[in-house]
Amino acid sequence: MNCTLNLVVSCLTLARVGAYGQAAEAPSFEVASVRPSSSEQVHFCSGGPGTASPGLWRCTGLPLAFFIRQAYGFEAYQFSPGSYCCQARFDIAAKVPEGTTKEQFRQMLRNLLAERLKLKFHYEQKEMAIFELTVGRKGLQMKESAPDAAPAPEDPWAIPEISIGKDGCPVFSAGKGGLRQGRDGCTRWIGFDLSMEEIVKTLSFNLGRKVVDATGLKGKYDIDIRWWFDEARTFESLTPLEREQIGRQPDEGFHGPTLIHAVRDQLGLELISKKGSGDIVVVDHFEKVPTEN
């Protein structure tokens, strides 16, 4: 089956070869089940490294695009929602060996997709809408990290503990960072000792578009940024099942700045919309019915 994933490839660790999909030498799941899923099922994913259940990773009713993203480090915005290869849904349950790291887990999932779904893809170039990130006219508002700053090591998959403030925004424990959504459309991102590469990647994910760093900044930064999105409009785009899972009606309208305005006013950076080019991924083949478990 041929179909195209319209995505900008930001994962520089992937070798640029003619095709992908063959299983490489890497650790494997102890046991794994892969089955086609009904679109009527509840969609969820739980467990795996960095969670309360590291030895069992279980996903139900999720599209193939999700699993490709997890395996190769791609972002959700990089996938074309209209492609059949992105919409085909699967249930996967896997027993994860003790002590598995995030990168080892990705290698296991890559092998699983190659072995059970015969997934293969290659890269092509395409022009697309992007954002160019520059320093704003009023100057940088981000705080540069102390030269000897050593942030406490945290598992990148761990979910930070938060409470919700009166404004609906997440409140993190002292010295803790993360990106979490609160109430009434408020999202807050606290980060420490961040490079521009890390900032750009997070902005790309949340804006749904590739962001190119044109700031020339080489340092590390501490940030605390809040923005809001239109909950009512997002709610309208959900399926009846997804609306039922949320369990409440959203608030109408915005309660604060959008992400683009928050970046300008709170970080002192400017996002300029323009055209640019990047790699897309063309999916050459995958099996709708996985090989036997």
For the four alpha carbons of 270, 275, 279 and 284, in that order, the dihedral sign comes to positive
123 and 168 housed in the same domain: no
For the four alpha carbons of 244, 170, 65 and 204, in that order, the dihedral sign comes to positive
Beta strands in 195-251 (DSSP E): 210-213, 221-228
Q: At residue 24, what are phi and psi to the nearest 5 degrees?
A: -95, 170
262 and 149 housed in the same domain: yes
Q: At residue 85, what are phi and psi to the nearest 5 degrees?
A: -65, -20
234 and 263 housed in the same domain: yes
**Comparing C-alpha atoms, which of 180, 217, 177, 176 is closest to residue 197?**
217
113 and 150 housed in the same domain: no
Is residue 114 within 8 A of residue 21, CB to CB? The reply is yes
In a domain, 77, yes or no: yes
- Helix or strand holding residue 186 (H, E): strand 186-194
In a domain, 133, yes or no: no
Per the structure, the complete domain to which residue 123 belongs is given by: 3-127
pLDDT, residue 185, reads 82
For the beta carbon of residue 9, count every other beta carbon within 10 angstroms: 18
Structure tokens at 233: 């409009």
Which burial class, exposed, middle or buried, applies to 40 when counting CB atoms under 10 A from its CB (0-12, 13-18, 19+)? exposed
8-17, 74-83, 98-107, 266-275: range with lowest mean pLDDT: 8-17
* Cα 101 → chain centroid: 18
118 and 149 housed in the same domain: no
Tell me what percent of the residues of the chain surpass a pLDDT of 90: 35
64 and 146 housed in the same domain: no
104 and 179 housed in the same domain: no
92 and 154 housed in the same domain: no
- Helix or strand holding residue 233 (H, E): helix 231-236
In a domain, 229, yes or no: yes
Tally of domains within the chain: 2
Structure tokens at 36: 């086609």
| 183-242 per-position pLDDT tens digit | 888 999 999 999 999 999 999 988 888 899 999 999 999 999 999 975 544 444 445 554
pLDDT, residue 78, reads 72
pLDDT, residue 25, reads 53
98 and 203 housed in the same domain: no
At a CB cut-off of 8 Å and minimum separation 6, what does 252 contact? 232
Q: What gap in Å lies between CA 228 and CA 167, rounded to an integer?
A: 11
pTM equals 0.67
For residues 30-53, average pLDDT = 81
pLDDT, residue 4, reads 39
In a domain, 158, yes or no: yes
